[in-house]
Structure formats: structure tokens, C-alpha cells
Amino acid sequence: DVKVTQSSRYLVKRTGEKVFLECVQDMDHENMFWYRQDPGLGLRLIYFSYDVKMKEKGDIPEGYSVSREKKERFSLILESASTNQTSMYLCASRARGNNQPQHFGDGTRLSIL
């Protein structure tokens, strides 16, 4: 079974802080993704990566950056947290190949006070 592990289930931070969300997958997947999910807005892609040190902007990259130094780990960084970044953050990974499904981690519920 694919295992995608997010470092925290719940996180509370203050505005202006630099926040790191970590994601690790154990299936040697090439592709990794970061989403946020808000009521009524569904899943929105922030960034994705299709290889080590490679990254692509998703639909809402503003205020975020990412890092992929190792194949199994994909980090999301909130450079200067703001209250409008309070959300559920979901990491996903998938193998290369068009028919491969994405597998999600358990999510991190982030509150910015």
C-alpha cells in the first residue's frame, strides 16, 4: 500500500511566521503535489513536482514555495503566514504514467492566528 505521511495533523501558527509542512512518500513516486481544501472551493493545486529539484506552479502558488531535495520528500513553505492561509493542506503522490492514481496523505489542518 502507498503511504503518504504528512508531518502534522494539526498546526497553529501566528501571522508573519515562516511555516514548513512536510510530506514523505514511501513508494518511490516521481510526482508529488500540494493542495489546499476550503469549504465550497474544493481542492486547489498549489505546487507540484515531477522530479527531484523540479517544481511547477499550480493554480494558487502566491504566498507559497516548495522544496524537493530528495525524491521521497516534498515540503511546502509559507514564507510569511497570513490568516487567509488557514486551511486543510493535502499532500499527494503518484507514479509516472498517465493512468496512475494520486494517493493522499491524511492532511494538515493549519490555523494562522
The footprint of other proteins (CB under 8 A) covers 31, 33, 40-43, 45, 48, 50, 56, 58, 90, 98-107
Number of Cβ within a 10 Å radius of residue 99: 6
Q: Judging by DSSP bridges, how do beta strands 64-70 and 73-78 pair with one another? A: antiparallel
Nearest distance in Å: CB 90, other proteins:
6
CB of 16 or CB of 30, closer to other proteins: 30
- DSSP bridge pairs for 104: 92
Nearest distance in Å: CB 80, other proteins:
27
